[in-house]
Structure 1
Amino acid sequence: MFKEFKEFALRGNVIDLAVGVVIGAAFNAIVSSLVADVFMPIIGILTGGLDFSNRGYKFGDAVVAYGKFIQAIFIFIITAFALFLFVKAINSLKRKEENKPADAPAPPPADIQLLTEIRNLLKKQDVTKP
């Protein structure tokens, strides 16, 4: 059972997924900071000092915090756009690599070239006649 777990855990796809999750979490922190610390204050200035993160309606003891929802929408849009640009760049690099002309094959060794020439000469001659 340990052997099966080891094979599963060390499989390339599992490790790639783990790396993706860690990088995704770090990317999420960057985007969250970008929205909360850069874009939302600018939007607040443009809207006359409006701070969305503290906005909400109070119904007795319950609070509907629509400002946090608006901020989450901004985070989603910015994250989706950043991922779109990232995937577009990768696809562009892949297309360049696919469209790159293939390298010319290396010439055959000298002995193979000589044998090919002999074969071609023999084809031209009629070797069946004495």
Structure 2
Amino acid sequence: MLKEFKAFIDKGTLVQLAVAFIMGITFAAVVTSLVNDVIMPAVGLGLGGVDFNNLYAVIKEAPGGPLADGTTLEAAREAGAVVISYGVFVNAIIVFIIVALVLFFIVKAYSKTQKPAEVTTRDCPFCKSAVPLEATRCPQCTSELPPVTS
């Protein structure tokens, strides 16, 4: 069993998957930092000094009473208020959009490098079942098939 496991790992697929997984995690961390530390502060500054990480809506007040204006998200949570952190959610959406766009362009570029699959079958003109290109008779409906022309 250990030999089978070693053979499985030696195929390279598992190693490639592990490397891709680790690169994906690190890429997500880089994009998260880009959004939180570069993009959103610039957007917040452009919107009059808004800190998106501290944008929230209070659903239930803290046991000690209403929160003062300008209370940070962390302080509101520590005070016991129930909040919806929509600023953090906006950051997460922007991270998702950036990751999705980058993955889209990677997959698109990769697809251009791949050859189209070689055609090995054709459809029978009578019953529409898949038939090998070299076949002269359909195995499903037994109709005679015209020869394939290149």
Alignment of 1:25 with 2:25, yes or no, is: yes
What do residues 53-99 of structure 1 show as CA deviations (whole Å, max 9, x unaligned)? Answer: 1111232322221111111000000111111122222233x16xx59
CA displacement, residues 35-63 of structure 1 (integer Å, 9 cap, x when unaligned)? 11111012102211111111112323222
Structure 2 distance, partners of 1:45, 1:87, is 34
Select the residue among 93, 100, 113 that pairs with 1:73: 93
Q: Name the aligned partner's letter for residue 82 of structure 1.
A: V
* Shift >4 Å, 4+ stretches: none
**Equivalent AA in structure 2 for residue 5 of structure 1:** F
SS at match of 2:50: coil
Matches within 5 A, 1:1-130: 1-58=1-58, 59=60, 60=62, 61=80, 62-92=82-112, 94=113, 98=115
TM-score, normalised via structure 1 length: 0.65
Taking only the aligned residue pairs, the percentage that are identical comes to 44
Count of aligned positions: 96
Secondary structure of residue in 2 paired with 1:63: strand
Structure 1 unaligned runs (5+)?
100-130
Query: Which has the larger share of helix?
Result: 1
Aligned partner of residue 102 in structure 2, secondary structure: helix
Q: Mind listing any 5+ residue stretches in structure 2 that lack a counterpart?
A: 63-79, 117-150
In the superposition, the TM-score normalised over structure 2's length comes to 0.57
The DSSP-based 3-state class of the residue aligned with 1:49 is coil
Residue type matched to 1:7 in 2?
A: A
More off after superposition, 20-29 vs 7-16:
7-16
What root-mean-square deviation, in Å, do the aligned CA atoms of Structure 1 and Structure 2 show? 1.9
Which amino acid letter does the alignment assign opposite residue 43 of structure 1?
Answer: V
| Letter in structure 1 aligned against 2:46 | L
